[in-house]
Every structure is written in structure tokens, then in C-alpha cells.
């Protein structure tokens, strides 16, 4: 499995928001390599709801909702391609602004 850590920025949302975020695999895919099937997206710790996973070219988009206030989630996206498996990792911070 090829692993690429792309946690160059921390994304933010509130507990009551539903937001769309993308994982972009363009930098890890080889020429002609495409994502197959539906990637698996997980978050640690539990409590974040992930739904509506859609693949568009090299991008994997999902909707994130709920979560616990003042918690930073590590979100992993594993995508199987025509050649191998790739994993990208990001961080999502849930914070309700007073």
C-alpha cells in the first residue's frame, strides 16, 4: 500500500454544520491509474459522521457532520486503484464558536 500523508492543513467545522471536504489523490496516482469502487473514509476518535462519498477523477469527496466540540479528528481515506491502494490522512477540528 502506498501511503501519502497530506495533512498540510487542518480543516474546521462546528458540531451543527454539514460540510463537504475533498481528498485529492492527484499527486500519488501514476499516469493512467484510476480510483476504483468506493473509498473507505474513517475518523478517529469516533463521533464524526461521514456520508455521501463520491469519486470524481482523482478526488474523493464526502460530507462530514456531527462530531464533538473541541475535538481534533484524524481522518483517513483509503482508495483502491487500478494498480494499488493509497491512503491519505488529514485532520478535522470540530469547534463551536461561542
Q: What is the pLDDT of residues 33-58, one digit of tens each?
A: 999 999 999 999 999 999 999 999 99
| Cα separation, 15 vs 95, whole angstroms | 7
Residue 60 CA to residue 64 CA, distance in Å, equals 13
* In the chain, domain spans: 2-94
Cell of 47: 463521533
Query: What is residue 48's three-state secondary structure?
Result: strand
What would be the CATH architecture of the domain defined by 2-94? Sandwich (2.60)
pTM for this entry: 0.88
Amino acid at each position: 500500500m502506498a501511503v501519502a500523508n497530506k495533512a498540510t492543513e487542518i480543516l474546521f467545522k462546528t458540531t451543527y454544520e454539514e460540510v463537504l471536504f475533498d481528498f485529492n489523490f492527484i499527486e500519488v496516482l501514476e499516469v493512467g491509474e484510476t480510483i476504483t469502487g468506493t473509498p473507505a473514509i474513517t475518523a478517529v476518535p469516533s463521533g464524526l459522521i461521514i456520508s455521501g462519498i463520491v469519486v470524481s477523477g482523482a478526488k474523493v469527496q464526502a460530507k462530514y457532520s456531527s462530531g464533538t466540540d473541541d475535538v481534533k479528528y484524524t481522518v483517513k481515506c483509503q482508495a483502491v486503484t487500478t494498480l494499488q491502494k493509497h491512503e491519505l490522512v488529514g485532520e478535522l477540528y470540530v469547534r463551536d464558536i461561542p
